[in-house]
């Protein structure tokens, strides 16, 4: 079923272990769920082209560094909207692992909490978990099994999964902590997460953010990247040590 989210947008568009090669992963990744036609495992080039189709006025922009992803921002003060796509990195083929969509609303263009939730439920079904963080917003989680099937229930610990923090680790090629509360996320967090921020009235939205993220997919890719980085660093270290050992002084 096509998302009702697009009916609330002026131009209609997208918003949180064994090692294998990413081309094989991309072939076996389910194409659902998706966020405005973008899905985890989608090849980067196809995802970029699909995202650009959502706007003839604004251009898709590369992240910094560009291999980490790209984004599209609609800079309309009455209808501000942003969509970003995070990618897996070399040596894996570049493919989508997270899509984020956010909208801000003005007095001239309002959206109700009910309208957004109705659109999300039409697209993904009944949410798996819902939480009210009071001043921190309303959070809704649609959690899927590895084949993209919606789960009726899931471990509440998955609500602490932080895909954006993992995105920073990937961007910086940082080591992934071997222990800690994020470990279940690396195994199981394939989800749509919606954060709803209300303003003025509890029935009206000031903004929202929706993410579709496959963290196990990202974890496998990041682990492969780090393994290659470590091998390259070790080779460079050995090369430098060889030169240093040959640099003998004469006495």
**Model confidence pLDDT, tens digit, residues 106-124:** 877 899 999 999 999 999 9
d(CA 123, CA 39): 14
Tell me, what DSSP letter sits at residue 141? E
Query: Which position has the token pair 């263009």?
Result: 109
d(CA 13, CA 19): 34
Distance of CA 10 to the CA centre of its chain: 23
Tell me, what DSSP letter sits at residue 175? P
Contact 208, 113 (CB under 8 A): no
Query: Which position has the token pair 């692992």?
Result: 97
Question: What pLDDT does 75 receive?
Answer: 87
Query: Which position has the token pair 């897996």?
Result: 88
Checking if the pLDDT of 240 tops 90, the result is no
C-alpha R_g of the chain: 21
40 vs 179, more confident: 40
Taking all residues of the chain, what is their mean pLDDT, rounded to a whole number?
Answer: 85
Contact 189, 215 (CB under 8 A): yes
Beta bridge partners of 79: 76
Question: What pLDDT does 31 receive?
Answer: 66
Contact 81, 74 (CB under 8 A): yes
Grade residue 237 by pLDDT with cuts at 50, 70 and 90: low
**What number is the average pLDDT over the span 211-228?**
93
Grade residue 148 by pLDDT with cuts at 50, 70 and 90: very high
Angle at 38 between CA 137 and CA 159, to 5 degrees: 30
Q: 99 φ, ψ to 5°?
A: -125, 130
Checking if the pLDDT of 71 tops 60, the result is yes
Contact 42, 212 (CB under 8 A): no
d(CA 36, CA 2): 8
Question: What pLDDT does 1 receive?
Answer: 42
Q: 223 φ, ψ to 5°?
A: -65, -40
Question: What pLDDT does 177 receive?
Answer: 86
Checking if the pLDDT of 163 tops 70, the result is yes
Sign of the torsion angle spanned by Cα atoms 16, 19, 23, 26: negative
Checking if the pLDDT of 133 tops 80, the result is yes
Question: What pLDDT does 236 receive?
Answer: 66
Grade residue 131 by pLDDT with cuts at 50, 70 and 90: very high
Question: What pLDDT does 241 receive?
Answer: 63
Residues in contact with 194: Cβ distance below 8 Å, sequence separation at least 6, in sequence order: 15, 116, 120, 138, 139, 140, 141, 208, 209, 210
Tell me, what DSSP letter sits at residue 150? B
**What number is the average pLDDT over the span 69-77?**
91
Q: In terms of C-beta density within 10 A (0-12 exposed, 13-18 middle, 19 or more buried), how is residue 236 classed? A: exposed
Question: What pLDDT does 16 receive?
Answer: 35
- Omega of the bond leading into 12 within 30 degrees of 0 (cis): no
Checking if the pLDDT of 29 tops 60, the result is no
Checking if the pLDDT of 197 tops 90, the result is yes
Checking if the pLDDT of 20 tops 60, the result is no
Grade residue 245 by pLDDT with cuts at 50, 70 and 90: confident
Contact 71, 59 (CB under 8 A): no
Number of other residues whose CB lies within 10 A of the CB of residue 243:
9
Retrieve residue 231's tokens.
């091998």
Question: What pLDDT does 19 receive?
Answer: 33
């Amino acid at each position: 079923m096509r998302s009702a989210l697009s009916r609330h947008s002026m131009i209609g568009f997208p918003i949180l272990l064994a090692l294998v090669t990413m081309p094989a992963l991309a072939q076996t990744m389910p194409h659902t769920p998706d966020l405005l036609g973008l899905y985890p495992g989608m090849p980067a080039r196809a995802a970029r082209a699909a995202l650009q189709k959502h706007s003839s006025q604004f251009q898709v922009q590369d992240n910094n560094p560009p291999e980490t992803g790209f984004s599209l921002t609609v800079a309309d003060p009455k209808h501000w909207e942003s969509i970003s796509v995070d990618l897996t990195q070399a040596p894996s083929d570049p493919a989508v692992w997270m899509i984020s969509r956010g909208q801000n609303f003005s007095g001239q263009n309002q959206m109700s909490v009910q309208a957004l939730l109705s659109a999300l439920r039409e697209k993904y079904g009944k949410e798996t978990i819902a939480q009210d963080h009071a001043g921190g917003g309303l959070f809704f989680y649609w959690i899927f099994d590895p084949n993209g099937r919606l789960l009726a229930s899931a471990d509440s610990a998955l609500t602490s999964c932080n895909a954006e923090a993992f995105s920073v680790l990937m961007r910086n090629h940082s080591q992934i902590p071997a222990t800690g509360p994020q470990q279940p996320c690396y195994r199981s967090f394939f989800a749509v997460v919606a954060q709803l921020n209300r303003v003025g009235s509890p029935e009206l939205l000031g903004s929202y953010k929706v993410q579709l993220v496959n963290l196990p997919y990202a974890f496998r890719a990041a682990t492969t990247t780090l393994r290659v980085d470590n091998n390259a660093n070790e080779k460079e270290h050995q090369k430098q040590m060889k030169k240093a050992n040959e640099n003998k002084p004469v006495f």
